[in-house]
Amino acid sequence: MSMPRVLLGMSGGVDSSVAAILLKEQGYEVIGYTFRVYDSVSEDCMKKQKGCCTVESIYEARDIAEKMGIEHHIIDLRTYFKETVIDHFIRSYLDGNTPNPCSECNRYIKWGKVFEKAKEMNCEFVATGHYARVMQNETGFFLSQGKDEDKDQTYFLWQIPRSHLSKTLFPLGELTKSEVREIALKHGFEKVAKKADSQEICFIPDNDYRRFLTENTDVLPGPGNFLSVDGRVLGQHKGYPFYTIGQRKGLEIALGERMFVTRINPETNEVTIGQQGDLKSSGMWVRNFNPGKYVQLTSGQKFDVKVRYRSSRIPATIMEVNEEILVHFDLPVDSVTPGQSAVFYQGDDLVGGGVIVKSIE
């Protein structure tokens, strides 16, 4: 009897490496892949770069797969990645929004092109090292948060098509990060076990998105006005795409007190700054909702919602359900940022998610 084949994303890090170990122990035939999505500038040859999809990480993943006796493939998705994830990233900033490229990558790449590749390779399942769980009830499959609340990554997974969940495996869903590192050590992968987590956007390994925008688009606006919350001109900024809601550092304007970006107006190239209290929102509008647990949204329903990855869950009520969803928070929330994901939960279970259109004072 042949073992079921699973196509596993491998980045050279501890999470995907331990996922491979666990899948092999569970009896799967593991086929590893690392996708090639972006070639950094020539500095690649001059210094080490961080990130899950750099040239260095591809070689690290291949070496780990070889040590485990796992077949490994490099999938070249550079053109498609640019047309989807990178172009969306640039358009979002030009629209005055702050994008979430990991969510877009999961939709178009890991559960898009890679899912198609799995079928071509006769793999029954796809797997990643995400901290999340696939659950099932009488209505079908859905996502639930991982055991390690601090590492839970369901916030980035809300765009996965529900139809793909029955063929998705998350081997780390029942583990904490410390347990994952212990497993790597136990199996002789000491270097991998001690490897730091990647915090950068994979196609911006130096984490300087302003440089990336400057080098990858020729339609950036020039300087514009910083405004106070009551409309007074306070000074000049370098162009609205270089700012995000809640930003405090890097404003390069001295007003004698801590100031934060509270609003971005791409039509006038104006950036409003104010005090921390000016960041409070009572609610938000959300679009492109993707249901995750076969829940039909109706006005008056209460959920917990996350408006960014590292934020706490916030009790909220659905006020209106049309093409866009109006959400009202139980308590005011800081830095609700257009372009970021709004992800809704019932307990540990992911109800669905969407993209924040605008905040409500």
Cβ contact 31:70 at 8 Å: yes
Q: Kind and range of the H or E element at 94?
A: helix 87-94
Cβ contact 354:325 at 8 Å: yes
Q: Is 52 a catalytic residue?
A: no
Spot the catalytic one: 52, 102, 123, 202: 202
Q: Give strand ranges (E) for 128-259.
A: 132-137, 140-145, 168-169, 224-227, 233-237
Q: How far is CA 18 from the centre of its chain?
A: 21
Closest to 283 in 3D by CA, of 327, 234, 219, 314 = 327
Separation CA 344–CA 307 (nearest Å):
9
Closest to 340 in 3D by CA, of 234, 214, 246 = 246
Closest to 21 in 3D by CA, of 171, 195, 211, 137 = 171
Separation CA 262–CA 213 (nearest Å):
21
Q: Is 123 a catalytic residue?
A: no
**Residue that is written with structure tokens 């196609």 in the block:** 203
For residue 17 the two structure tokens come to 């490496």
Cβ contact 217:310 at 8 Å: no
Cβ contact 51:198 at 8 Å: yes
Taken as a whole, the chain contains a residue count of 361
For residue 225 the two structure tokens come to 């006005």
Spot the catalytic one: 52, 53, 102, 105: 105
Cβ contact 11:51 at 8 Å: no
Cβ contact 264:237 at 8 Å: no
Cβ contact 254:210 at 8 Å: no
Active site residues: 105, 202
